A and B are shown apart, each in its own frame.
Chain A
Amino acid sequence: MTLAGVGVAGLAGAAAGASAVLAADSDPAAGPSAASGAVPFYGDHQAGIVTPAQDRLHFVAFDVITKDRDRLVTLLQDWTAAAARMTAGQDAGAIGAVNGIPEAPPDDTGEALDLPPAGLTLTIGFGATLFRDAAGTDRFGLAARRPEALSELPRFPGDALQPEISGGDLCVQACANDPQVAVHAIRNLARIGMGVVSVRWSQLGFGRTSSTSRDQVTPRNLFGFKDGTANLKAEDTALLDEHLWAQAGDGPSWMDGGSYVVSRKIRMIIETWDRTSLGEQETIVGRAKGSGAPLGQQGEFDEFDFSIKGSDGSPAIADVAHVKLAHPTQNGGARLLRRGYNFVDGSDGLGRLNAGLFFIAFQRDPRKAFVPIQLQLARHDVMNEYIRHVSSALFACPPGVRDAGDHWGRSLFS
């Protein structure tokens, strides 16, 4: 990678690199036009949340293995500097992948040389175990600063969680329009973190399953249905303050302007789903598979009308349909900003694809959003026959890094 903005040529032609780059932020709806450009790293909120969802994901959770608070803070500073560079399309380190002395390992791994920034965003989050670990120890003097909203998620009926791919002290979400750019970013952060943090688990995602901007076409998940139609979107600024960003007074002030992210790896049993009739698939989801319209309605974006009856006189959208159970009207108005990705992790040894949805959702307070919605779904959703939740994590994503003098976690550790 060389310069920020390289490769934005696809952008309507007129815009020069730099202005195109800015456009990606000031106009969150810039969407696909900024596919290869850079997304600004600095701002009030972290990038990678309302940024128009990129096509590719590499999400990683780390355990902190040092006991030394200063080393952890130094790492957060080093990471911030590397993240600012990489999101601008530069090498992770100041020397670069190929400009150092031959005897030293390079300070960038090199696989993103010649690639544009590809809309890379890096978003950090802090897990509850950073504040007090599983043994109850306050390793870094942070226990008193843990927000109430960062409590362990309850166990949901049907959870089949694997501890080794759940939780974590820290997370970094890397999203980009080029998978190599996303992987490069996580790989370099992991390398820089050696001795301070250790990768706990990581997940690749290859196709966005939500739109976070009205300019984006609603994509499809691996069930073949449009997903994220009713998502919170960047343009809904009032709703974002109400449902997405932690507000002053919600909890400790270091989180003001931040957001809480829930990740759930949801394995889809796609082979049995694929043997299910179209009618039953649509009944389970509550939308038409082709158009994405609510059953009994016409357009994808039509407001849900749960009073519409089908030809047999029963509700067109069943009470146990996925869209109804997840709808704000059924959950005290709760809304999420979903940002999930499809995954296929090879196969499972039983002749089945190991496939599904890596669900990611940001919100102001998970106790009032993800938890009630997921309780509804876990109890009643007929889709549960075709899915397994195999990993779960919750992280507090602090507000944005303001400028080069600021760093990830400054407000938490200061």
Chain B
Amino acid sequence: MRSRYLATVAVALLAGGLAACSSDDAATGDDAAAGGPIAVNASDTTCEVGVTDVNAGTVQFKITNKGGKVTEFYVYATGDRVMGEVENIAPGLSRELHVELPAGTYETACKPGMIGKGIRGPLKVNGSAAPLTEDAALKDATTSYQRYVKSQTDALLEKTQEFVDAVKAGDAEKAKALFPVARTYWERIEPVAEIFGDLDPKIDGREEVIEEGMPFTGFHAIERDLWQTGDISKSGPMADELMVNVKEIVAKATAEQLSPLQLANGAKELLDEVATGKITGEEDRYSHTDLWDFNANVEGSKAAIASLRPALEQRDAALVQQLDTEFANVETALTKHRNGDGWKFHNELSQADLKELSDVINALAEPISKVAAVVAG
């Protein structure tokens, strides 16, 4: 838990040569711009940000969750490019966020229930900011995405641990509720995970892709126990093994720096995941929680594109506009299937629903497939 917000401190480093931040000075870090943390009072329906006009530099927020739902807090640049975020703030708790913000206009967002666009508000950052050169913009994409990966892996560790604990305690209902939530963080950064070829199938392998002689383990094996056989009395060792593997992959993933080209391809691959595994209901065949994964893949794709955004805007502004439109269309189509803070189950969707989702994903994937060439060009 202590390491949670450290991730978000290692922000863009756009303006100056700030090194990625080390341990404890995060909580108390000198805040040149705002003179103390800005209080954010988050409830299930409101997101009150104490100050919305600040000077450029490191900005501190202290988010208090006064609602009944787990929430998240984000600072977004244009195109929902995440400048800083705190995930998974439980009711009653406070968290801090330190974020390096160059001059410009931003949006803050609380996400009660950790879903949707959240409750948005404006944030103005004063000062002068030199526009990035193209090369700097590309270099920044890597740093920006690494920041995203760090935030997701922290939440992944935490939620997977809760899931594993529930399985081992024999609490099937709790484990079932946590299954799609823990997977959300996994699915958002799957292209990074897939770099580590041997670990990915152990964590996320589906029954039919496991090679002869290799045991079926990981999320989907436990999913089968939870939903199909309904017997998790012997699932404990598998749950422990899942946790070990997740920890190992997180350690590797956070050390990995994805090149801008890898980011572009990752954004596309996430949509390919949706098109091949989630639309069909193959991914979560026992639990039918595919739409959680679907949404997480789209969010992950959007995050990768958002990291590239400043570079893309310089090179092909029309493409960025098209991506914005198509991402919005996907979100609109997906929102129809929201159920409370979660989603409908795959087997509750009609063929017409699935076709609509398939169409909007294809419509988005086509322009996304052009991003790599723009980045390389």
Contact = CB atoms under 8 A, between A and B. Distances in A.
B34 interface: no
A65 B373 contact: no
Contacts of A103: 261, 372-373, 375-377
Contacts of A65: 359, 363
A311 to B, nearest CB: 55
A191 B367 CA distance: 11
- Interface size class, chain B: 10 to 19
B174 interface: no
A36 B78 CA distance: 54
Nearest to B356: A65
A194 B268 CA distance: 15
Contact of B373 (A101, A191, A195): A101
Contacts of B351: 164
A65 B366 CA distance: 14
A104 interface: yes
A198 B355 contact: yes
B55 interface: no
Contacts of A198: 355, 358-359, 362
A346 interface: no
Nearest to A198: B359
Contacts of A164: 351
A195 B370 contact: no
A198 B369 CA distance: 18
A156 B358 CA distance: 33
Interface string B337-358: 0000000000000010001001
- Interface size class, chain A: 10 to 19
Contact of A101 (B358, B369, B376): B376
Interface in A300-353: none
Interface in A88-139: 101, 103-105
B263 to A, nearest CB: 12
B265 to A, nearest CB: 9
A344 to B, nearest CB: 24
Nearest to B365: A194
Interface in B162-211: none
Contacts of B261: 103
Interface in A45-86: 65
Interface SS of chain B: helix, strand, loop or mixed?
helix
A104 B370 contact: yes
B326 interface: yes
A195 B364 CA distance: 7
A83 to B, nearest CB: 19
Nearest to B264: A103
B376 A195 contact: no
A380 B372 CA distance: 61
Nearest to A197: B359
B259 to A, nearest CB: 12
Interface string A227-261: 00000000000000000000000000000000000
Contacts of A101: 373, 376-377
Contacts of B365: 194
Contact of A194 (B355, B362, B372, B375): B362
A195 B366 contact: yes
Contacts of B367: 195
A194 B364 CA distance: 9
Given A103-B261, A105-B369, A195 B363 contact: yes
B363 A104 contact: no
Interface in A151-183: 164
Nearest to A190: B362
Nearest to B358: A198
A298 to B, nearest CB: 53
A105 B272 CA distance: 14
A104 B373 contact: yes
A355 to B, nearest CB: 25
Given A103-B261, A104-B370, A105-B369, A194 B376 contact: no
A105 B366 CA distance: 10
B150 to A, nearest CB: 27
Contacts of B369: 104-105
Nearest to A105: B369
A79 to B, nearest CB: 15
Given A103-B373, A103-B375, A195-B364, 8 more contacts: A101-B377, A104-B370, A105-B369, A191-B366, A195-B326, A195-B362, A196-B363, A198-B355
Interface of B: 261, 326, 351, 355, 358-359, 362-367, 369-370, 372-373, 375-377
Closest 4 interchain pairs by CB? A195-B363, A104-B373, A103-B376, A194-B366
6 contacts: A101-B377, A103-B377, A104-B369, A194-B366, A195-B364, A198-B358
